[in-house]
Structure 1
Amino acid sequence: MGKPYYITTAIHYPNGRPHIGHAYEMIAADAIARFQRQAGRDVRFQTGTDEHGLKMVQTARGRDMEVRALADEMSGYFRDMSDKLDISCDRFIRTVEPEHYAASQAIWKAMADAGDLYLDRYEGWYSVRDEAFYEEKELTDGEGGQKLSPQGTPVEWTAEETWFFRLSRYQQPLLDFFAANPDFIRPESRRNEILRFVEGGLADLSVSRTSFDWGVPVPGSPGHVMYVWVDALTNYITGVGYPDDAVMFEKYWPADLHLIGKDIVRFHTVYWPAFLMSAKLPLPKQVFGHGFLLNRGEKMSKSTGNVVDPMALAELYGVDTLRYFLLRDVSFGQDGTFSDEAIVTRANADLANSFGNLAQRTLTQIFKNCGASPPQIHGHDAADEALFETVGKAVRETVPAAFESLALHQATEAWVQAVFACNAYIDEQAPWALRKTDPQRMETVLATLYICIAQLAVSILPVIPKNAATLLDRMGIAPELRTPEAIGSHWYSPLAESDFRLEQPTPLFPRLELKTEEESA
């Protein structure tokens, strides 16, 4: 196996069913994980659910059920979504697992041993929805004098005995770390926000609660449970063996990438690094805060009734179509918008009319005119070589470089430009006309396209894994060839000389039609 690569999503808070934002983060992380596997890395990919905290208690009470029963039910919906969307995670973690309790208590003890925990009384502003404490200077006034957090969520005055973490001790170590590791926080706008926050001074952080008991018990302090973010963030090391499996932990930690939403960057780039510094554990290599998905330009909320079920979208348009749209249309790191019209338009333009039609036209002509066998090559000309260069550069250079830099939208853009080049080539060469005037040239043109289509299918596997793999299967491309480096052209002649035959080609991406409200009802 190659060099280890550990990628995580945020673990999702299951006080409600999954929404499209959860799906977006999972899909993006999955595409990155699949790309790194293609590149030969020993990938570990973790996602899961964050099941403790006051919100879960309140939601369970409102439904007149036990909180553990709520956690089991809701976590199941997230696991189902992971399966439905072809998320190739190696570990789906739940914070109610006994080994996670053990890991959370181990890091707590390590922070205590460092002298960074002390018992005191907390009085201040707390957002139940964010599970976060805020200083007075961060708040704004809402309707009726309601105090609001920076996220626009209501806060309430809380007073209770609590353990504190000496976050103030880590202001300068954090600033020094940020300076020495400029790519730790991405994109740049998130880094600048966090720098300003830390430079403004850090107050010690309340890290336990006594007002409810749904959480990880604080070791040696009866009646206290850990503040949900201590417990939640620890999942990243629980999943790689902390504290008992030293071999696994040393192999995969520190994480290469925490992929999270922009609203929780502070927790991952201030609190989490400080906890790890205190516990004398290595810090993750990078935290990337992606933007929000907006429904027709508006932020989704239950109160406005515009929350979108990703499972329904996947059922309506297809899993790969949804995956492709989200990674193609949203500039990764920024907010993006979606609508049914946008999904249908993008799917038809790129997948049905361009890539799907390219594959269908080419394979159908081979099936009809070449006895269903990959045709022979009778010498390439300049047009063939130019296409090989265009597609090869995209597949082996541009797309991988974009993936490595997490510019997922640029990766899909570079890929589809290579698809367009293939379509221009087939239109210019017109193999259907060459069938009568120059059959050998027709065979060479179709062979050229066969090679390029295989390369393009391999390149897009991380984004549309099911359909790309189906196409490669139909084309007889062996599994060991399904990496950008392996899928050159050396495999083609042996395939053409073998007894491999195409089956009757069928459309890979049928055109989508936008349903009216009446049709959808």
Structure 2
Amino acid sequence: MSKKFYITTPIYYVNGAPHLGHAYTSTAADVLARWHRLEGEDVFFLTGTDEHGQKVESAARAAGIAPQEFADRVSADFEDMAKAMNISNDEFIRTTAPHHKEACQAIWKKLEENGFIYLGAYEGWYAVRDEAFYDESETALKPDGTRYAVASGAAVEWVVEPSYFFRLSAFQDKLLEYYERNPGFIAPSAKRNEILSFVRGGLNDLSISRTSFSWGIPVPGDEKHVMYVWLDALVNYITAVGYPDVTAPRWGYWPASLHLVGKEIIRFHSVYWPAFLMGAGLPLPEKIFSHGWWTVEGAKMSKSLGNFIDVRPLVQEFGLDQIRYFILREVPFGNDGDFSRRSLVGRINSDLANGIGNLAQRTLSFIGKNAGGAVPPKGTLQEVDEALMVLANALPEKMRAALHKIAFHEALEEAWRVIRAADTYIDAQAPWSLRKTDTARMNTVLYTLCEVLRVLGVVLQAFMPDTMGKLLDYLALGEERSLVVLGAPLVEGTSLPAPAGLFPRVVEAA
């Protein structure tokens, strides 16, 4: 029976259009999902949209349409972004779906039955933009006298209203004990330390309902209240696998293997979510990994600056796999990164066009013209051939180790180490010279290069599925393209189709 791997993106909030940050998270999750499929695992990959809350109700009112219509439009835009980035999600969940309402009300009842929900009144600072409550110590005053949340910069307002509360304070010791027993639960380590500090500082009970607006899931038994949007949103991860029906076939995927989230929502996922699950008697996810933000030419993306980047025009201009590669290669996952057109063009030209693209084109077009357009005979390998093959054959395990750490840039650097070695090898062996003096040796060199390209094509499918699919087509690989095929070398004499360039160079206008 295949090992199960369940990965999620955060569900994206529909108060605005999708941008580079959303595409980044989705692409990272997609690479991991594709890699685990290559490993032969049974993968379930979830993404979707978070559609309730005061912010959405306000945005819909400003647009002059009903909240559901507003949510439908923006959710469709996020689905389109996922398709444009070739995201291989198994389900796209929407929190306005009836089965999600059922799941939210079921977990509410379970928490209530277990004594973790009570009715009270909320009085405190609330940020509509963040859909989050803040203690006095987490806010500050601007020179004009308005108050804001220090962490996000969002304006806060003093809210007084009846509210149901979740007994979050009852879970402080349980959470700290869980973090201690599961040191890899929150990553990277800086975020783990941040959360440990927050929880050790004391947890207050959490307001989990609102009465001042109506766009949300009604509280069961008291429909004057709607559920706090974060309780509603987090439940999506179990809704998608069948909750409350824990006999559903999909429930076998729970607990999730990995929640990928942006750093601004790590607290919700690593404090509130495990506490809700503990309160309902449900297993906790295995890992929550928080990544950084993208700036644009050194400036934070913001509507006021007009520098939000929609990746779809970039895909149209530069190519899909080029964008997928760039955003995961440019910065270590977990750190902040800066997007610039110069960096993008540089990566495409140096790593893709001059790197793997040039290596494939040099090898395969030479075979087409000088070696009968077929996989050359292997002949007798020399030490230099075997050394390159050893390096290539070690690549899957090295990439596996890097991806287990969620270090995409390390996985790609391992692949490019092989590409650079193959470039050095082809220059040193000079098959174009061997064609005149030693065709048997020429064929062995070309065979070795084909094998290296085959390994690269298979392992890089997770990052650049379309282009690596073409490379494997040019090598006449069959339909089975998972890691299992790495043990079956190319068959000598197999006819190879005429290759085309994989990654054209980008020439910027002067």
* Fold agreement, TM-score > 0.5: yes
1:125 and 1:155 in contact (8 A); partners too: yes
Number of the residue aligned with 2:11: 11
The CA deviation at 1:464 is 0.4
Number of the residue aligned with 1:420: 420
Distance 1:336-1:5 versus aligned 2 partners, 3 A rule? same
Report matched runs for 1:17-56 at 5 Å. 17-56=17-56
Number of the residue aligned with 2:95: 95
Superimposed CA distance per residue, residues 234-292 of structure 1 (whole angstroms, 9 cap, x where no aligned partner): 00000001012524354111100000000000000100011001000001110000010
CA distance, structure 1, for counterparts of residue 117 and residue 275 of structure 2: 12
Matched, 1:376 2:377: yes
Report matched runs for 1:325-364 at 5 Å. 325-364=326-365
Number of the residue aligned with 1:114: 114
Query: Where does structure 1 differ by over 6 angstroms across 4 or more consecutive aligned residues?
Result: none
Superimposed CA distance per residue, residues 345-383 of structure 1 (whole angstroms, 9 cap, x where no aligned partner): 001111100100000010001000111111111110011
Name the Cα RMSD after superposition: 1.1
CA distance, structure 1, for counterparts of residue 193 and residue 508 of structure 2: 41
CA distance, structure 2, for counterparts of residue 382 and residue 422 of structure 1: 14
Number of the residue aligned with 1:509: 503
CA distance, structure 2, for counterparts of residue 428 and residue 24 of structure 1: 39
The CA deviation at 1:501 is 2.3
CA distance, structure 2, for counterparts of residue 333 and residue 124 of structure 1: 32
Moved more, 185-194 or 300-309: 300-309
Distance 1:3-1:193 versus aligned 2 partners, 3 A rule? same
Number of the residue aligned with 1:491: 489
2:37 and 2:482 in contact (8 A); partners too: no
Give, as a single letter, the amino acid of the residue that structure 1 aligns with 2:489: W
Report matched runs for 1:247-396 at 5 Å. 247-394=248-395, 396=396
Distance 1:415-1:143 versus aligned 2 partners, 3 A rule? farther
CA distance, structure 2, for counterparts of residue 349 and residue 236 of structure 1: 40
CA distance, structure 2, for counterparts of residue 515 and residue 461 of structure 1: 32
CA distance, structure 1, for counterparts of residue 192 and residue 378 of structure 2: 53
What percentage of aligned pairs have identical amino acids?
50
2:243 and 2:251 in contact (8 A); partners too: no
2:455 match: secondary structure: helix
Matched, 1:238 2:239: yes
Give, as a single letter, the amino acid of the residue that structure 1 aligns with 2:501: P
CA distance, structure 2, for counterparts of residue 180 and residue 26 of structure 1: 29
2:474 and 2:498 in contact (8 A); partners too: no
Superimposed CA distance per residue, residues 174-193 of structure 1 (whole angstroms, 9 cap, x where no aligned partner): 11111111000000000000
Distance 1:422-1:314 versus aligned 2 partners, 3 A rule? same
Give, as a single letter, the amino acid of the residue that structure 2 aligns with 1:195: L
2:324 and 2:464 in contact (8 A); partners too: yes
CA distance, structure 2, for counterparts of residue 65 and residue 181 of structure 1: 46
1:12 and 1:22 in contact (8 A); partners too: yes
Number of the residue aligned with 2:446: 446
Moved more, 244-253 or 396-405: 244-253
CA distance, structure 2, for counterparts of residue 247 and residue 221 of structure 1: 29
1:237 and 1:249 in contact (8 A); partners too: no
Report matched runs for 1:177-256 at 5 Å. 177-256=178-257
Give, as a single letter, the amino acid of the residue that structure 2 aligns with 1:423: D
1:458 and 1:483 in contact (8 A); partners too: yes
CA distance, structure 1, for counterparts of residue 55 and residue 303 of structure 2: 15
Superimposed CA distance per residue, residues 195-250 of structure 1 (whole angstroms, 9 cap, x where no aligned partner): 00000001110000111111111000021100000000000000001012524354
Number of the residue aligned with 1:470: 470
Aligned residues: 509
Superimposed CA distance per residue, residues 410-443 of structure 1 (whole angstroms, 9 cap, x where no aligned partner): 0011111111111110000000110001111111
2:3 and 2:42 in contact (8 A); partners too: yes
CA distance, structure 2, for counterparts of residue 161 and residue 458 of structure 1: 57
CA distance, structure 1, for counterparts of residue 223 and residue 15 of structure 2: 26
CA distance, structure 2, for counterparts of residue 60 and residue 91 of structure 1: 26
CA distance, structure 2, for counterparts of residue 301 and residue 234 of structure 1: 29
Give, as a single letter, the amino acid of the residue that structure 1 aligns with 2:67: V
CA distance, structure 2, for counterparts of residue 296 and residue 120 of structure 1: 47
Matched, 1:148 2:148: yes
CA distance, structure 1, for counterparts of residue 500 and residue 404 of structure 2: 34
The CA deviation at 1:485 is 4.3
Superimposed CA distance per residue, residues 276-317 of structure 1 (whole angstroms, 9 cap, x where no aligned partner): 010000011100000101112221010111111111111111
CA distance, structure 2, for counterparts of residue 266 and residue 248 of structure 1: 30
2:36 and 2:43 in contact (8 A); partners too: yes
2:214 and 2:226 in contact (8 A); partners too: yes
CA distance, structure 2, for counterparts of residue 211 and residue 465 of structure 1: 47
Where do 5+ consecutive residues of structure 2 fail to align? Answer: none
CA distance, structure 2, for counterparts of residue 428 and residue 391 of structure 1: 18
Number of the residue aligned with 1:175: 176
Number of the residue aligned with 1:84: 84
CA distance, structure 1, for counterparts of residue 401 and residue 18 of structure 2: 32
Superimposed CA distance per residue, residues 295-343 of structure 1 (whole angstroms, 9 cap, x where no aligned partner): 1222101011111111111111111000000111111111111111101
Number of the residue aligned with 1:72: 72
1:145 match: secondary structure: coil
CA distance, structure 2, for counterparts of residue 301 and residue 251 of structure 1: 40
The CA deviation at 1:483 is 3.0
CA distance, structure 2, for counterparts of residue 470 and residue 309 of structure 1: 27
Number of the residue aligned with 1:135: 135
Give, as a single letter, the amino acid of the residue that structure 2 aligns with 1:244: D
